[in-house]
Amino acid sequence: TSRLLLERAKELDLAIVGVSFHVGSGCTDPETFVQAISDARCVFDMG
């Protein structure tokens, strides 16, 4: 999970410098983007 990756990066003294997401090139559902942005925000807040 994202949390485990961030914890491991911290253990290795790695600097996390950003968050990104990809919903798929054919995505047409706005709710998918809303969820992806929400998920990215949660990851950003962990770091």
Domain range enclosing 6:
2-46
Q: Cα–Cα distance between 8 and 12 in angstroms, integer?
A: 6
Q: What is the DSSP letter of 39?
A: H
Amino acid letter at 14?
Answer: L
State the average pLDDT for the chain: 90
User: Inter-axis angle of helices 2-11 and 30-46, to 10 degrees?
Assistant: 30
Contact 23, 32 (CB under 8 A): yes
Whether pTM exceeds 0.75: no
Helices of type H across 1-47:
2-11, 30-46
Question: At 29, is the pLDDT very low, low, confident or very high (cuts 50, 70, 90)?
Answer: very high
Mean of pLDDT values over 9-38? 92
